[in-house]
Amino acid sequence: MELNFSWKENKGQYQAGESLFINRVRLAQYGWNGYRSKDDKGGNTRYSGRINLPQIKQGDIFGDTPENIKAEIEKIVTMWFKEVSNV
């Protein structure tokens, strides 16, 4: 099963990061971790993401780069769709 993900930049006065879509359905998003300051260089929680699918127990995801968090989100969403399609 091939999933055609598309990442679109979040636009708005107080928004940052990007959202993951399949067609026009938003599945997940990520942005700067608001609990940290922009000057904070340490740790691997610089970005936070949220997956908006039912029955996802690890809906909150943290990463140190946008690429890492996007890859993790895509992996979890792909696994979710495989599990749902095997019902």
Write the CA distances from 25 to 15, 42, 57, 71, integer angstroms: 18, 34, 20, 19
- Each residue of 42-71: pLDDT tens digit? 667 788 999 999 888 767 888 888 999 999
- The two beta strands, 6-9 and 60-63, are unpaired
Q: Is residue 50 part of a domain?
A: yes
List, in sequence order, the alpha helices (H) in the chain: 66-85
In this predicted structure, the answer to whether residue 87 has a pLDDT above a threshold of 70 is: no
Q: Which band of pLDDT confidence, cut at 50, 70 and 90, is reported for residue 85?
A: confident
pTM for the full model? 0.82
Mean pLDDT value of segment 63-87 = 89
Q: Is residue 1 part of a domain?
A: no
What domain count does the chain have?
1
Q: Going by C-beta distance under 8 Å and a sequence separation of 6 or more, which residues neighbour residue 8?
A: 18, 19, 21
In this predicted structure, the answer to whether residue 14 has a pLDDT above a threshold of 80 is: no
Domain enclosing residue 39, as ranges:
6-85
Q: Is residue 14 part of a domain?
A: yes
- pLDDT higher at 41 or 54: 54
Q: Is residue 22 part of a domain?
A: yes
